[in-house]
Structure 1
């Protein structure tokens, strides 16, 4: 099976390349080979390759930067997925696309389900929602997987930033009133491989939009505390952590206070559930690659 995977150097894509190695003919493209802001480049690539599955792990994920470059964010997060969906439908092949908790405003007191009305707070969330809606409008076979707080041992993410700052500073302030589920890119990749396996074996659930995050919940402060704990088990000194409200750490883009996503639909329809977020963190740290 030939799979076109976009987002070569992204966290999820790098883990997918490991998970799917040897299981399929992977054709991987990154920003150096493909400009996602150019629809014709995307069309030409898909039509030349004629893949049996397209995985879009590429995105404009710089949340604050998106506020100052909305056209680029919408080109990558909305227009490119629409073109991919159109080309996938023309080939009659599925598209797997990743989205985000940022399509919601975070005002709901309980975890969000897929049927909840989106209301993004910033450009990043609006562009990702537009991408979702464009894929849904095309109507081909697709999976939109909304996830949250993605981290890994490569790229730029909260885990690596905290590991560095916790060892560089004496004290560190971390937001404690934003609640969600840290999700290891390796868990996302493993679940994606499992979804592909179900589809190929004729045991696929319904196509559509699903939530895919680590189980459980914590705050950014709680996540930082777990990272600090692991550093200390290695005999490394860490900064003193202080919990602060979001109002004490203003950013160009507003973040949702509640990023919790209910993942029960994916478990019910596809029999897939990610590990507890803390267990996944330990597995990530124990398996550098």
Structure 2
């Protein structure tokens, strides 16, 4: 297929674009950030500019590319920025999604919309499935959920994919929780703090990409959860990371979210644990356990830290 991908320069795009190319698809990769015009190397596609918040740009790009499917990754993912500037969040995550969805409908092509476990309020005692009703508690989650509703109402052939705590991208693209812990290890920290009161399901970008490829080929449209297997707290993730690196010399201190309230004031669901129920029922769930995926990520993207820890 000829695929138009928005927001390609981020963490997920770093894994998804190469996976699509390996599968034989033609990818037209776009982003608002063009600091690196060839983020996938000389054999990958050049990164083109597209601001999905600009209705005319979206229309012109779709007309020029004439894709068979549009993969909509572009989003504002910062909870703090979204709460501080709701207009920006709704423009980027909701109105821009409407622009992309309307053009997909006009062209008669499917759309893939990447959403989030953050659409739930976190009050459920067990894992969220695709059959649970979203109830977001912050602007980011609300703007993404409104995007889901627009996609479902606008494009009959749609994939709405909810990811968990995204892991991937290496040193250049990873700015999430795992990267924060890795950076502290690299900087020589002897004590690291991690919260125990936020539960979720890490989602390894390469696993997500491979699972999504199977879903695209199936053309079984709908809403899906796509997270790695298992669950854990931020503390559990940090503990496994340190274990893989062999860093028993670093003290990991359990804290509550109040410890980071000044840096991260936006409310977060106490639980973002998801189960890929629909993928399971359809026999299409290829996501590995998160501990296995995280170990691979560290060994592939941060071998210097793994080797150093083994020598030590």
Return the TM-score normalized by structure 1: 0.92
Whether the 8 Å CA contact 1:182–1:214 is kept in 2: the answer is yes
- Hey, what does 2:6 align to over in structure 1? 6
Conserved 8 A contact 2:126-2:273: yes
Alpha-carbon separation, structure 2, partners of 1:213 and 1:277: 8
> C-alpha deviations, 1:3-39, integer Å up to 9, x for none?
0011121111110111112411110001041112212
Distance 2:211 2:18 in 1: 13
Q: Which residue of 2 aligns with 1:225?
A: 239
Distance, in Å, in 2 between the alignment partners of 1:276 and 1:47 is 41
1:161 maps to which residue?
180
**Alignment equivalent of 1:59, drawn from 66, 75, 94:** 75
The structure whose RCO (Cα within 8 Å, separation 6+) is larger is 1
Contact 2:3–2:28 (Cα < 8 Å) also in 1: yes
Aligned length, in residue pairs = 280
Q: Runs in 1 of length 4+ with deviation above 3 angstroms?
A: none
**Contact 1:88–1:140 (Cα < 8 Å) also in 2:** no
Q: In 2, are the aligned partners of 1:37 and 1:75 still within 8 Å (CA)?
A: yes
Listed as ranges, the matches of 1:170-249 within 5 Å are: 170-199=190-219, 205=220, 207-232=221-246, 239-249=250-260
Partner of 2:20: 20
Unaligned runs of 5+ in 1: 200-204
80, 83, 86: which one pairs with 1:70? 86
1:117-132 to structure 2, matched below 5 A, reads: 117-132=133-148
Which stretch has the larger CA shift, 238-247 or 79-88? 238-247
Contact 1:263 1:273 in 2 (8 A): no
Instruction: Supply the distance in 1 between the matched residues of 2:301 and 2:18 (Cα, whole angstroms).
Output: 12
Cα distance in 2 between the residues matched to 1:127 and 1:262: 22
Q: How does 1:78-117 map to 2 (within 5 A)?
A: 78-117=94-133
Contact 1:214/1:275, CA 8 A, preserved across alignment: yes
SS of residue in 2 equivalent to 1:150: strand
Provide the residue aligned with 1:288 in structure 2. Answer: 301
Name the CA distance, whole Å, in 2 between partners of 1:238 and 1:69.
41
3-state SS of 1:67 partner: helix
CA distance in 2, matches of 1:229, 1:262: 25
Where 1:3 maps in the other structure, the secondary structure is strand
CA distance in 2, matches of 1:79, 1:287: 37
Q: Is the contact made by 1:176 and 1:243 (CA closer than 8 Å) also made in structure 2?
A: yes
- Aligned-pair Cα RMSD in Å: 1.7
